[in-house]
Amino acid sequence: MVIVHTSTAEVIRERSGEKSTVGFVPTMGNLHQGHLSLLREALKHDPVVYFSIFVNPKQFGPSEDFNKYPRTLEDDLSLIRTVEKEFPSSKIVVYAPASPEEVYPPGYNQRVDVTGLSERLEGANRPGHFEGVATVVYRLFEIVKPREAFFGLKDYQQYLVIRQMALDLSLPLKVTGMPIIRDHDGLALSSRNQYLNAEERVEALTLSRTLKKVKEALDGKKMNLPLAQKIIQETLKDPRWNYLELLDGHSLSRDLSESGLVSLLGVFQLRTTRLLDNIQMELK
């Protein structure tokens, strides 16, 4: 069963009647297989899954693509219905707020800021972005009250920020990160890929290919950190890169000996489209 609500009051009413635990997948819509992988995973864990589709104005900067961000609710619902058929006894509640005021009623004053983790990488490039993300996810958690919420590791820093927020605020839920779903040629799926023209779509492969090349330098017995750093330095001479950094996978600190989990995170920009990708490695 798929139920669609466009008002927060309806979602709160629906939620208060749930007899079983609830999983949650927050998105901005324009769904692709990356989003659907989160939905499938959530349905494996909980018989009832709330799935939000909301382009959150608070996480866009003044010169960013809030107005042009693709809004495709009818297509999104069709895709959700195809997944629902795979889980016949499930209940999916789609929360697609009719307006930002449904999420932030007039006078709403709350702001959630996860300091530290939010200030680097995407946070440095997009001031206020993670405050907008943490604020909306906190608000959605408050409405949906999930047992478990699912996020893509595609937005790795976002996943870490939400995990930290849940920890700091002792939220009674589990934050789960799910693997990046890629196109056949390695490009991570993203709603923003459709901004690319044919030529840029080819150029975009530089991103995943470079991540792979650095990972290969660090993989297995080789673990050639100087070679990895050299590839990164050479790569950054190309001005299309916003950043490419090898960091601790939990704290995003530069000290790679902290936890043994290392993340390579990069943003490659084609005209105004910033493409994000990352890869995780265990340093032995």
Q: Which amino acid is at 32?
A: H
Distances (CA, A) of 128 to 120, 123, 135, 162: 12, 7, 11, 15
191 binds ligand AMP (CB under 6 A): yes
181 binds ligand AMP (CB under 6 A): yes
28 binds ligand AMP (CB under 6 A): yes
- Shortest Å, Cβ 123 to ligand AMP: 16
38 binds ligand AMP (CB under 6 A): yes
- By the 8 A CB rule, do 150 and 96 touch? no
- Catalytic residue flag (residue 32): no
Instruction: Judge residue 98's burial from the number of C-beta atoms within 10 Å of its C-beta, 0-12 exposed, 13-18 middle, 19 or more buried.
Output: exposed
- By the 8 A CB rule, do 50 and 23 touch? yes
Select the span of 5-13, 33-41, 99-107, 199-207 touching ligand AMP (CB under 6 A): 33-41
149 binds ligand AMP (CB under 6 A): no
180 binds ligand AMP (CB under 6 A): yes
The single residue of 32, 35, 184, 250 carrying the catalytic annotation is: 35
Q: Give the separation between CA 273 and CA 229, rounded to whole angstroms.
A: 26
**Using CB under 6 A, which of 97, 123, 146, 152 touches ligand AMP?**
152
Closest Cα partner for 204 from 241, 246, 244?
241
How many CB atoms sit inside 10 A of residue 25's CB?
28
Q: Is the CA virtual torsion 51, 55, 58, 64 positive or negative? A: positive
Select the span of 32-40, 87-95, 164-172, 267-275 touching ligand AMP (CB under 6 A): 32-40
188 binds ligand AMP (CB under 6 A): yes
Sequence-distant (6+) residues with CB within 8 A of 19 are none
Closest Cα partner for 47 from 1, 16, 9?
1
147 or 227: whose CB is closer to ligand AMP?
A: 147
Identify the three-state secondary structure at position 269: strand
55 binds ligand AMP (CB under 6 A): no
157 binds ligand AMP (CB under 6 A): no
Q: Give the separation between CA 71 and CA 64, rounded to whole angstroms.
A: 15
37 or 135: whose CB is closer to ligand AMP?
A: 37
Closest Cα partner for 270 from 178, 179, 204?
204
- By the 8 A CB rule, do 49 and 39 touch? yes
Select the span of 12-20, 178-186, 216-224, 270-278 touching ligand AMP (CB under 6 A): 178-186
69 or 241: whose CB is closer to ligand AMP?
A: 69
Size of the site for ligand AMP (CB under 6 A): 17
**Using CB under 6 A, which of 118, 190, 208, 278 touches ligand AMP?**
190
235 binds ligand AMP (CB under 6 A): no
**Which are the catalytic amino acids?**
35
Q: Please give the residue ranges that form the binding site for ligand AMP (CB under 6 A).
A: 27-28, 34-35, 37-38, 151-152, 154-155, 178, 180-181, 188-191
